[in-house]
């Protein structure tokens, strides 16, 4: 376990709580919560309960056996702890501690596949030890199916947990393979990639200017007549038990909403969950975008499609928050100039939006996260994802301010000393990287995702760019941010006090894209995660295209590799060129060009450099991933009514996971 790290603005608040495997567990503060009105606290409490009520869903979405695995670990926990604490046998203690680590990894990843690489991770304790624990546990506590014996249960669960060939990858993006059949995600069953694509080809009208998000909230299966059909996630349907509870709390929240617009949006969300009608999902998103005056806010739904190899189905997530009024001034200044950024973009004029509408930009203070947003979390959000809604009604772009601050407070150091090229780069980063990172996130979410338009008659990116859509979209948004960071416009807006802000972000982006993000891969692996593909593709493309002018120089010094930017202006020009091409690919739906970019620059890893980076990183002793223990909201009741809500900061990740397992255990073992 690592020594606790404290936050800069409150020396008594511990941020870093523990480290295991490749993960650090952090906590975040929620400044301003106590100053909210009692009604707003009550509203946040109801949204908090709604968020956590959907927690089981993400486990089941990630893999059909995840809930049984999690519940098995929770069932044997007491027996394992008894063995760990009651014996002096070092081998038995070692086995028990390895089970603890495995359970924490499952909780962190919402299943048995790594949250980032999506590869299955295996326990280090033995099947024999697992068997002993199973038989030492009361069978009533085990997640047995009806009529299933403990022996049969053990025979079923053992390969699911221990066999590396059973469900080896949650999301497979390897070109040339059937991405549906080779992905363990529980979004499909009994269907092939070709059958999925044929199913939606019949359904989707590419000329429809306001299409629903086909497949967003359903599992695609074959029925008893061997017909491909959707099992919709709704009250009364798949995941109905959890969604009924989500709806219960959302209805309570609607009754104490901040504004009529917020109430209308929450009512629409309830209607969507009750029916599963994707048109109602669009209605909700439109209402949500128009709710701009509420201090409190929530993201709740099946949102991002990174967990689907084909980009149709979305994972459950929720982020409950309230606006940071002071910090919002920075991001709002950028959002208010969205049309200027669009008009001055290096993309082709015909790909620019003539009228950028309704971008609401703010910094939020997170109260709780759930589903796909926890324990690992985004730092910025731009929603809704439907391009036509963004074009006609606008979008909300947010920076998760207290999450970003917690990451900053937990920065373990060492990475910069090891991988930065020289003292000037280190000093620039030390002074400006915090602001540079926030500005990059602001520009990525507020301007990047909301920019550009698709040509008429061209389908949505998930239809045209298919499995490459997510990586290309993240790269497009990154490039908007990178192109504009050095622009005088940001200095005029008062958000970038020095040209060194942009330089610090350029240094960081190139260093990360070409080197340091490789610490997240095991030797021999290719890049598959969309954000990693995006960053490597962008960094490698500009490195290769700038070789003639030595824009980014590869330097070997004392046996170590560094990447040094020699001309920041030319690098900005290269970012602009690539942005222009990515917007063309997106606007025209050029699958072949998009695939070529990602496969050429974003997937393959230099094995020699990778080995070097891993060796240098290992010496630092820093876990490459981090996530959060969530705050706990506790209502204060007087005569059956909530009069106040207290916010507490749990410090024990294990205890929180065990508590959640008891309190929000809402779905059957199999769905």
29-40 confidence digits (pLDDT tens) = 999 999 999 999
At 11, the pLDDT band (50, 70, 90 cuts) reads: low
Q: How far apart are CA 629 and CA 302, in angstroms?
A: 22
pLDDT value for 493: 96
For residues 422-443, average pLDDT: 95
Contact 543, 552 (CB under 8 A): yes
At 462, the pLDDT band (50, 70, 90 cuts) reads: confident
Contact 631, 30 (CB under 8 A): yes
pLDDT value for 243: 98
User: If we measure between CA atoms, which residue out of 662, 642, 628 comes closest to residue 44?
Assistant: 642
Judge whether residue 5 has pLDDT over 90: no
Beta-ladder partners of 317: 301, 371
Tokens of residue 410, six digits: 């937990």
The DSSP result for 525-589, as a single string, is: PPP-SHHHHHHHHHHHHHHHHTTTTTSEEEEEETTEEEEEES-HHHHHHHHHHHHHHHHHHHHHT
- Report the C-alpha dihedral over residues 167, 173, 179, 185, rounded to 10 degrees: 40
Neighbour-count burial of 654, counting CB atoms closer than 10 A to its CB (0-12 exposed, 13-18 middle, 19+ buried)? middle
Judge whether residue 28 has pLDDT over 50: yes
pLDDT value for 542: 98
Tally of structural domains, the chain: 2
Last residue of a domain, one of 106, 137, 169: 169
User: If we measure between CA atoms, which residue out of 299, 231, 303, 243 comes closest to residue 274?
Assistant: 243
Q: What's phi and psi for 102, nearest 5 deg?
A: -60, -45
Judge whether residue 440 has pLDDT over 50: yes
Last residue of a domain, one of 147, 169, 191: 169
Judge whether residue 667 has pLDDT over 50: yes
- Mean per-residue pLDDT over the chain, rounded: 95
Residue 148 lies in a domain: yes
Judge whether residue 9 has pLDDT over 80: no
Q: How far apart are CA 83 and CA 95, in angstroms?
A: 9
Contact 31, 402 (CB under 8 A): yes
pLDDT value for 625: 94
pLDDT value for 7: 45
Judge whether residue 494 has pLDDT over 90: yes
Residue 531 lies in a domain: yes
The share of the chain scoring above pLDDT 90, in percent, equals: 95
Q: Where are the beta strands (DSSP E) in 157-257?
A: 188-189, 218-222, 228-232
At 172, the pLDDT band (50, 70, 90 cuts) reads: very high
* Residues 642-655: tens digit of each pLDDT: 999 999 999 999 99
Contact 95, 125 (CB under 8 A): yes
Residue 238 lies in a domain: no
Residue 298 lies in a domain: no
Residue 369 lies in a domain: no
- Structural domain span for residue 591: 417-627
- Report the C-alpha dihedral over residues 282, 287, 288, 292, rounded to 10 degrees: 150
Contact 376, 627 (CB under 8 A): yes
| Owner of token pair 């929603």 | 383
Residue 498 lies in a domain: yes
Q: Residue length, the chain?
A: 671
For residues 339-354, average pLDDT: 97
Residue 98 lies in a domain: yes
Which pTM value belongs to this model?
A: 0.89
Question: Is the bond preceding 384 in cis, omega lying within 30 degrees of 0?
Answer: yes
The DSSP result for 2-51, as a single string, is: PPPEEETTEEEEEEEEEEETTEEEE----TTGGGS-HHHHHHHHHHHHHH
Residue 334 lies in a domain: no
Last residue of a domain, one of 126, 144, 169: 169
pLDDT value for 408: 87
* Residues 249-282: tens digit of each pLDDT: 999 999 999 999 999 999 999 999 999 999 999 9
Judge whether residue 414 has pLDDT over 90: no
The share of the chain scoring above pLDDT 70, in percent, equals: 98
Q: Are strands 641-648 and 228-232 parallel, antiparallel or unpaired?
A: unpaired
């Amino acid at each position: 376990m690592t020594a606790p790290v404290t936050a800069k603005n409150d020396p008594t608040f511990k941020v870093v709580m523990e480290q295991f495997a490749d993960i650090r567990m952090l906590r975040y503060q929620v400044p301003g919560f106590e100053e909210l009105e009692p009604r707003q606290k009550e509203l946040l409490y109801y949204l908090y309960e709604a968020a956590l009520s959907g927690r089981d869903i993400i486990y089941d979405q990630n893999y059909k056996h995840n809930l049984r695995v999690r519940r098995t670990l929770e069932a044997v926990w007491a027996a394992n702890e008894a063995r760990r604490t009651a014996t002096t046998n070092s081998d038995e203690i070692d086995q028990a501690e390895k089970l603890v680590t495995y359970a924490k990894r499952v909780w962190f990843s919402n299943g048995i596949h790594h949250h980032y690489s999506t590869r299955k991770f295996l326990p280090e304790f033995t099947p024999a030890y697992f068997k002993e624990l199973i038989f030492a546990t009361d069978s009533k506590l085990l997640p047995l199916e009806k009529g299933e014996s403990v022996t049969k249960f053990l025979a079923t669960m053992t390969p699911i947990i221990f066999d590396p060939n059973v469900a080896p990858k949650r999301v497979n993006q390897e070109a040339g393979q059937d991405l549906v059949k080779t992905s363990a995600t529980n979004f499909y069953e009994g269907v092939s990639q070709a059958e999925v694509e044929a199913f939606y080809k019949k359904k989707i009208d590419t000329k429809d200017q306001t299409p629903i998000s086909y497949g967003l909230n359903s599992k695609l299966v074959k029925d008893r007549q061997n017909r491909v059909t959707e099992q919709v996630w709704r009250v009364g349907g798949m995941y109905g038990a959890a969604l009924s509870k989500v709806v219960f709390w959302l209805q309570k929240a609607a009754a104490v909403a901040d504004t009529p617009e917020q109430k209308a949006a929450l009512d629409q969300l309830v209607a969507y969950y009750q029916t599963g009608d994707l048109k109602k999902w669009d209605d909700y998103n439109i209402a949500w975008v128009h709710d701009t005056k509420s201090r409190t806010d929530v993201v709740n739904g099946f949102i991002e499609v990174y967990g689907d190899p084909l980009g149709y189905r979305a994972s459950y997530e929720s982020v409950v928050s309230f606006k940071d009024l002071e910090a919002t001034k920075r991001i709002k200044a950028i959002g208010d100039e969205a049309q200027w950024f669009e008009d001055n973009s290096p993309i082709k004029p015909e790909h620019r939006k003539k009228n950028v509408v309704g971008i609401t930009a703010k910094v939020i203070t997170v109260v709780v996260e759930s589903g796909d947003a926890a324990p690992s979390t985004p730092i910025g959000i731009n929603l809704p994802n439907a391009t036509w809604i963004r074009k006609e009604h606008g979008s909300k772009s947010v920076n998760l301010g207290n999450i970003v601050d917690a990451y900053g407070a937990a920065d373990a150091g060492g990475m910069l000393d090891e991988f930065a090229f020289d003292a000037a780069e280190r000093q620039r980063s030390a002074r400006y990287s915090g602001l540079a990172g926030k500005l990059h996130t602001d520009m990525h979410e507020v301007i990047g995702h909301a920019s550009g338009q698709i040509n008429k008659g061209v389908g949505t990116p998930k239809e045209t760019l298919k499995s490459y859509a997510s990586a290309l979209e993240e790269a497009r948004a990154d490039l908007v941010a990178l192109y504009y960071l050095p622009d005088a416009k940001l200095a005029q807006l008062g958000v970038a006090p020095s040209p060194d802000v942009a330089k610090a972000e350029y240094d960081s982006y190139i260093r990360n894209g070409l080197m340091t993000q490789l610490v997240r891969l095991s030797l021999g692996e290719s890049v598959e995660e969309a954000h990693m593909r995006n960053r490597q593709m962008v960094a490698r493309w500009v490195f290769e295209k700038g070789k003639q002018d030595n824009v980014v120089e590869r330097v070997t010094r004392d046996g170590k590799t560094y990447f040094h930017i020699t001309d920041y202006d030319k690098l900005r020009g290269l970012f602009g060129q690539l942005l222009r091409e990515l917007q063309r690919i997106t606007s025209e739906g050029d699958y072949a060009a998009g695939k070529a970019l990602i496969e050429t620059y974003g997937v393959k890893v230099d094995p020699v450099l990778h080995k070097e980076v891993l060796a240098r990183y290992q010496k630092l002793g820093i876990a490459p991933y981090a996530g959060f223990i969530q705050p706990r909201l506790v209502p204060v009741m007087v005569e059956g009514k909530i009069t106040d809500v207290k916010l507490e900061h749990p410090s024990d990740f294990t205890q929180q996971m065990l508590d959640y397992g008891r309190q929000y255990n809402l779905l059957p073992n199999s769905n």
